Structure 1
Amino acid sequence: MITATGLELRAGSRILLSDTTLRIQPGDRIGLVGRNGAGKTTTLKVLAGEGEPYAGEVRRGSELGYLPQDPREGDLSVTAKDRVLSARGLDTLLRDMEKAQTAMSELVDDAERDKAIRRYGRLEERFASLGGYAAESEAARICANLGLADRVLAQPLRTLSGGQRRRVELARILFAASDVGASGRSDTILLLDEPTNHLDADSINWLRGFLKGHEGGLVVISHDVELLAEVVNKVWFLDATRGELDNYNMTWNRYLEARATDEKRRRRERANAEKKAAALQAQAAKLGAKATKAVAAKNMARRAEQMLASLDDQRQADKVAHIKFPAPAPCGRTPLTAEGLSKSYGSLEIFTGVDLAIDRGTKVVVLGLNGAGKTTLLRLLGGMEKPDTGSVEAGHGLRLGYYAQEHETLDHDASVWENIRHLAPDTGAQELRNLLGSFLFTGEQLDQPAGTLSGGEKTRLALAGLVSSAANVLLLDEPTNNLDPASREQVLNALRSYTGAVVLVTHDPGAVEALEPERVILLPDGTEDHWSDDYLELVQLA
């Protein structure tokens, strides 16, 4: 169980949550929802013990499995398999058993060999108590269902993409949670922030079934409506305007109906408040002309201003980012070309001999299974990495814009304002303030470190940098991840209207349909083909 009392969360001076009590018990499967920037990720971090509340207390009486949005840093030299097995301590046990086996076969001295045999027996007994080879098989099954092939599991974490590392971490958490122990059920509470990111359709379907059957407790942040509809039995709605959390003890579909009813009620209350404010202002204007009524008139005017200020805050919460890519800078016929690109990490070959030419205004989708090198190709084209062989050539007038799915283009230690100044050094300050305002960054939030933003807010900031660049070639790596539905639709509209060239990597079929691509590149072979809707079914598998 997790219990939070008197919880207050802040981002700078902005109150995200005020004097709130939360409880997560076995059997609870809670969907934590709210608009981007409302504080969902911050709430999950604090519940997991990886962030401190401004006020209040969090008590944890269960094992936790926490999946953050951003990949965790750590020892990247261990293999993916060992990272998963470490959830139950099986990785070190297996290594120690291998060492004991080697000693048993190689030692000549009888006493030393007997000592190694006894050590192996103790290790094997401990291994059996943790589930033994059945547990190892269970870990392999979980990994396979999350699209982690044996060759990936054998690789060091440093050779994996951010998406692969995140799936390894998800596999590790689910492996720990599947340990039912003596009670016959798992007591682990899962705290999952966008767990379906980087998963293909089959893996998402499997994950829904796993979470639906989990008995230990769950809080999930997700924009996957089907997952919420199938899994959750409670909904926490984090209201960014009021700094409060509304608790709905019901399924997702019933929550949507209840929420719509609540919103209608609030709109009626808002309209009534506007009428009252208007009446107070009119009465204050009449009384203000009389000296004996001046104090009463001022009080009425002040009450009207307070009512309207509250209504302005409510309207601000309903705003969405206005994303529109500007007209691209002039360029030659083929602003970007690549020839003979190859990339390997150690002995692992990602792809070899990839050629492509990005013509002015062309739209290209890159497809391939997870680990085929889609992100790596964009990083090579964007100059973030160097190819092992081959070259990337800039054509006449190339102005490149790169959106990285892990937000590597942002300086997480710098503020929102410092980031946008770095991304657009030649743009005037007021123009940049207006731009940030259209992406819903205003006031004190401009001074907020980028690393403290939610995943959706980081996406908006990175996209604001692209908008300011007037790029004529956009390299977009999963640009709709972490976005609420309204913000996602804005990105899709921007893609529809953009007249420059785009190279897109995505698992989102809606993004592909909005782009209306002419060509497709299939990795790892680097095969190029004209786009047809026959490829659309591969997008979520890629």
Structure 2
Amino acid sequence: MLVARDLEVRAGARLLLEGASFQVAAGDKIGLVGRNGAGKTTLTKILAGEGQPVAGTVTPGGQVGYLPQDPRTGDLEVLARDRILSARGLDAALRRMRAAEEQMGSLEEDVREQAMARYARAEAELQAGGGYAAEAEASRIASNLGLPERVLDQQLRTLSGGQRRRIELARILFSGSDTLLLDEPTNHLDADSVLWLRGFLQTYPGGLVVISHDTGLLEACVTKVFHLDANRAALDIYAMGWKRYLQQRETDEKRRKRERQNAERKADQLLTQAAKMGAKATKAVAAQNMARRAERLLAGIEGERVQDKVAKIRFPEPAPCGRTPLTAVDLSKTYGSTEIFTGVDLAIDRGSQVVVLGLNGAGKTTLLRILAGLETTDTGEVRPGHGLRLGYYAQEHETLDTSRSVLENMVSASPDLNDTEVRKVLGSFLFTGDDVDKPAGVLSGGEKTRLSLAMLVVSAANVLLLDEPTNNLDPASRTEVLEAIRSYAGAVVLVTHDEGAVEALDPDRVLVLPDGTEDLWSPEYADLVALA
């Protein structure tokens, strides 16, 4: 059981949470919700032991499995299978078994005997941790997350960002931890994998705290909802499922509004009466008592909820360019012995809309990185056309300099704007006051998304390369991004699992990887979006 007592959480000088106490017991399925930037990710890091509260304590009470929004995969040279098995410490035993197997073929008898002894010891250690059944279980979890055996036998460095994140999710699910803390676990999952994950979490015997903008997952899995209210720095606990929570929260907000109005009306009456009585010396004490009663009335109620702000997102007016600002000819990419794609040709005309489809690992992100000039192609070339100005949104936010502040990142993307203009744009993306001085590395996934989008807005790009631009966004912010895509006048190359984003783009062409097949868009392709 994970227990938190009297937590106070801050981001710099900003108070995120105060006086929060709660527990996560075996079988609890908790949805942690609240607007982007409210502090959900910060709180989860503290529960995972990767951060410290300003005040209060967290007692884990068992093993905690934590999936952050931006997972650190450690050594990229290890095999994907070994990374998953490391959750139970089985990777070391398997590596020793493989090494011993190689020496068991030696012509020297002493070497063979020593290798056989090492193999037996390593196999015994493997059996103690669940044996080959555990290895099969790890493979089964990975397969259900869209990671076939061939991927598990590759080094992590050869995998896409989405594949590496699914490896980390598989590792956490395989760990069998007493408590799971999952921050946006459905990112990079196709529709079948999301359905499987829902079923897995529904029957998981341990405790669960999940942050997700996937309402289907929340509706299917959670039995409690923790709402982190950014306006009140409070954690509201609802011991009910998702649908009942939505109804109850609306009821609570209406109640708070009525209480506020009633208290303000009574306080006004008391203050008016106190002002009349205060003019008479004989009534001065009574007037002071009335004024104090009015103050207590106002202090004793919760403030009316301020409507959560949403970033106003409009992509830039594209700079003038030639008829075909970007062309790719005969692109191919291989990692080690694994061929990702080959012979890809693509011409991006001014104002055209192209959606890139393909199964996870087909090379969609790699293609966008090549087009953006961040990765090299093995064959062929990318040819910039007249007046090309590229804007690249990376799903892993690797275009952000995490060691620099929010303001410094923005200035690097908009050298033509002065400090006041840059701050004005940041303000429209909800970065105000001290927020602009925070290092980009401490931002939540949603905040990194907002900063990356803000940098695109000031870029004057005429070709946007968008890789999963709606990940990590709350529903209101996602709506803003979709409207920005819909109204943008420049060219767009879009990679997404979000059917709404494709609908907003209204593509004229589709590129299917890894074959590199290009075709005119038709409704038949829409069914492939969620599966891609």
Which interval holds the TM-score relative to the shorter structure?
over 0.9
CA contact (8 A) 1:325 1:494 kept: yes
Q: Deviations over 1:201-229 (max 9, x none)?
A: 00000000000000111100001111111
Match of 1:192, SS? strand
Q: Does 1:244 align with 2:230?
A: no
Task: Between 310-319 and 29-38, report the one with greater CA deviation.
Answer: 310-319
Q: Does 1:344 align with 2:343?
A: no
Q: Tell me the SS of whatever aligns to 2:175.
A: helix
Aligned partner of 1:21: which letter? Answer: S
In 2, Cα distance between the equivalents of 1:504 and 1:174?
30
Find the aligned partners of 2:294 and 2:462 in 1 and give their Cα distance.
49
Q: Does residue 195 of the first structure (1) align with residue 194 of the second (2)?
A: no
Q: Which residue of 2 aligns with 1:414?
A: 404
Measure the CA separation in 2 of the matches of 1:387 and 1:210: 39
Q: Which amino acid aligns with 2:146?
A: G
Q: Distance between the aligned counterparts of 1:28 and 1:501, measured in 2?
A: 47
3-state SS in 2 of match to 1:106: coil
For 2:39, the equivalent position in structure 1 comes to: 39
Alignment partner of 1:213 out of 200, 203, 209: 203
**Residue 410 of structure 2 contacts residue 422 of structure 2 at CA under 8 Å; is this kept in 1?**
yes
1:149 aligns with 2:139: no
* Matched letter for residue 336 of structure 1: L
Q: Deviations over 1:443-464 (max 9, x none)?
A: 1111111111111111011101
Q: Which amino acid in the other structure matches residue 192 of structure 2?
A: D
Conserved in 1, the CA contact under 8 Å of 2:256 and 2:304?
no
Matches within 5 A, 1:278-357: 317-357=307-347
Q: Quote the offset at 1:516 in angstroms.
A: 0.7
Classify 1:245/1:475 alpha carbon distance in 2 versus 1 (closer, same or farther; 3 Å). Answer: same
Q: Contact conserved, 1:475 with 1:503, CA < 8 A, in 2?
A: yes
Q: Structure 1 residues 300, 339: closer, same or farther in 2, change over 3 A? A: farther
Q: Deviation at 1:328?
A: 1.4
- Please give the alpha-carbon distance, in whole angstroms, between the structure 1 residues aligned to 2:387 and 2:296: 53
Q: 1:155 to 1:287 in 2, by over 3 A?
A: farther
Cα gap change, 1:308 to 1:322, in 2 (>3 Å): farther
Segment drifting more, 523-532 vs 389-398 = 389-398
- Asked if 2 retains the 8 angstrom alpha-carbon contact of 1:71 and 1:162, the reply is no
Q: Hey, what does 1:451 align to over in structure 2?
A: 441
Match of 1:223 among 192, 207, 213: 213
Pick which of 430-439 and 120-129 moved more: 120-129
CA apart distance, 1:55: 1.3
Structure 1 letter corresponding to 2:385:
G
Deviations 1:332-371 (A, max 9, x none): 1111111111112222221111111111111110000001
Report % sequence identity. Answer: 68
Q: Would the aligned equivalents of 1:240 and 1:317 in 2 still touch at CA under 8 Å?
A: no
RMSD: 3.1
Deviation string 1:40-78 (CA, Å, 9 cap, x unpaired) is: 001110000011111111111111111000020411100
| Structure 2 equivalent of residue 174 of structure 1 | 173
Deviation at 1:396, TM superposition (A): 1.5
Aligned to 2:479: 489
The one-letter code sitting in structure 2 at the alignment partner of 1:385 is: E
**More off after superposition, 330-339 vs 277-286:** 277-286
SS in 2 for 1:461: helix
Change (3 A) 1:342 1:312: farther
Greater Cα offset, 92-101 or 470-479: 92-101
- Distance in 1 between the 2:434 and 2:130 partners? 52
2:221 & 2:134 partners in 1: Cα distance?
25
Residue 182 of structure 1: aligned partner: none
1:373, distance to aligned residue in structure 2 (A): 0.6
**Displacement after TM superposition at 1:7 (Å):** 0.9
Find the aligned partners of 2:463 and 2:296 in 1 and give their Cα distance: 48
Matched, 1:434 2:424: yes
Partner Cα distance (2:456, 2:235) in 1: 34
One-letter identity of the residue aligned with 1:88: R
**C-alpha spacing 1:326/1:106, structure 2 compared with 1 (3 Å):** closer
Deviation for aligned residue 1:124? 2.7
Letter in 2 for 1:324: R
SS of the aligned residue for 2:486 comes to helix
- The aligned amino acid for 1:250 is M
Q: 1:489 to 1:270 in 2, by over 3 A?
A: farther
- Deviation track 1:478-497 (CA, whole Å, cap 9, x = no partner) reads 00000000100111111111
Post-superposition offset of 1:116: 4.4
Letter matched to residue 15 of structure 1? L
- Specify the code of the residue in structure 1 equivalent to 2:92: T
Residue 508 of structure 2 corresponds to 518
SS in 1 for 2:146: coil
**1:485–1:302: structure 2 CA closer, same or farther, 3 Å change rule?**
farther
Once residues 14 and 31 of structure 1 are traced to their aligned partners in structure 2, the CA distance between those partners, rounded to angstroms, is 24
Identify the residue that residue 469 of structure 2 maps to in structure 1: 479
Asked if structure 1 preserves the Cα contact closer than 8 Å seen for 2:96 and 2:118, the reply is no
1:100 CA displacement: 3.5
Tell me the distance in 2 between the aligned counterparts of 1:390 and 1:41.
42
- In 1, the alpha carbon distance for the partners of 2:12 and 2:344 equals 47
Find out whether 1:2 has 2:7 as its counterpart.
no
CA shift in 2, pair 1:131/1:433, >3 Å: same
In the TM superposition, residue 272 of structure 1 has moved relative to its aligned partner by: 4.6
Report the CA distance between 1:315 and its aligned residue.
Answer: 6.0
Contact 2:350 2:490 in 1 (8 A): yes
Partner SS for 2:57: strand
Query: Cα distance, 1:252 vs. partner?
Result: 1.1
Letter in 1 for 2:235: L
Does residue 113 of structure 2 align to residue 123 of structure 1?
no
Q: CA deviation at 1:126?
A: 2.6
DSSP 3-state at the match of 1:56: strand
Distance in 2 (CA, whole Å) between partners of 1:284 and 1:441 is 43
Q: Distance in 2 between matches of 1:450 and 1:314?
A: 31
Counterpart CA distance in 2 for 1:307 and 1:396 is 67
**TM-score, structure 1 normalization:** 0.91
| C-alpha distance in structure 2 between counterparts of 1:495 and 1:308, whole Å | 45
What residue number does 2:392 align with?
402
Number of the residue aligned with 1:268: 258
What are the Cα deviations for residues 490-514 of structure 1, in whole angstroms up to 9, with x where unaligned? 1111111111111100000011011
C-alpha change, 1:301 and 1:515, in structure 2 (3 Å) is farther
Q: Is contact 2:390–2:464 with CA below 8 Å preserved after alignment? A: yes
Partner of 2:370: 380
Amino acid at match of 1:152: V
Give the drift of 1:188.
2.0
Does the C-alpha gap of structure 1 residues 318 and 114 become closer, same or farther in structure 2, counting only changes over 3 Å?
Answer: closer
Q: Distance in 2 between matches of 1:129 and 1:86?
A: 14
Q: Distance in 1 between matches of 2:502 and 2:236?
A: 35
Question: What is aligned with 1:180?
Answer: none
The answer for the alignment partner of 2:459 in structure 1 is 469
The one-letter code sitting in structure 1 at the alignment partner of 2:140 is: R
What is the identity, as a one-letter code, of the residue corresponding to 1:39?
G
The answer as to 2:57 corresponding to 1:67 is: no
Distance 1:505 1:245 in 2: 36
Kept after mapping to 1: 8 A contact 2:47/2:58: yes
Matches within 5 A, 1:46-125: 46-106=46-106, 108-109=108-109, 113-125=112-124
Deviates more, 1:484-493 or 1:333-342: 333-342
Distance 2:235 2:278 in 1: 41
SS in 2 for 1:27: coil
Provide the C-alpha distance between the structure 1 equivalents of 2:294 and 2:495, rounded to a whole number of angstroms: 51
